[in-house]
């Protein structure tokens, strides 16, 4: 998907490559603590902090990668990166909706954000998650989605953004979001 929007992308766990990059996508599928343990195992937390907080280069977290941008998750006990004031909570049981939230759903843009410049209102994206992002400050929530409750589906703070959905699986609208990120 990144190649289709003209990005020169590579996968790396090398601190030097990360620090010399123009932008970073922090992907993630799986358990919160496992994701944080892997960042620690490969000694990536310090270079990621330098990249995002000191160098102020653009970062996009996807799904678990977005959840790790916050302070922590009910899914585990380890702290997150702490870049955005948010916690991740377990989606509550619902009489007619399944958990995990899996499938297509709309986002409702709640504020302007550079990552959402090409997004058409009420666009549909592909979600797969059992935990949701809950921002402490409304200004960090750029879009909401409803799955029994409203939750932040796009979070932003300065040069850092995250999506609860998977843009790489979201066809045309996911490509538009990646295009916005690449053009930051």
Task: Give the active site residues.
Answer: 63, 166, 168
d(CA 5, CA 167): 12
Residues 53 and 18: beta-carbon distance below 8 Å: no
Vertex 11: Cα angle to 8 and 16 (nearest 5): 95
Q: Which one, of 91, 92, 138, lies nearest residue 113 by Cα? A: 138
d(CA 97, CA 147): 7
């Amino acid at each position: 998907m990144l190649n289709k929007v003209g990005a020169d992308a590579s996968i790396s766990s090398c601190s030097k490559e990360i620090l010399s990059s123009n932008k970073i996508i922090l992907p993630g599928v799986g358990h919160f603590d496992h994701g944080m343990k892997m960042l620690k195992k490969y000694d990536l937390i310090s270079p990621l902090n330098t990249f995002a907080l000191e160098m102020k280069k653009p970062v996009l977290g996807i799904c678990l990668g977005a959840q790790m941008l916050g302070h922590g998750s009910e899914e585990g006990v380890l702290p997150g990166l702490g870049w955005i004031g948010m916690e991740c909570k377990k989606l509550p049981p619902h009489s007619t909706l399944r958990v995990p939230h899996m499938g297509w759903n709309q986002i409702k843009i709640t504020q302007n954000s550079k990552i959402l410049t090409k997004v058409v209102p009420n666009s549909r994206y592909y979600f797969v998650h059992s935990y949701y992002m809950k921002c402490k400050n409304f200004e960090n929530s750029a879009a909401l989605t409803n799955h029994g409750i409203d939750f932040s589906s796009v979070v932003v703070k300065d040069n850092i953004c995250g999506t609860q959905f998977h843009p790489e699986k979201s066809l045309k609208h996911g490509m538009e979001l990646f295009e916005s990120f690449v053009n930051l």
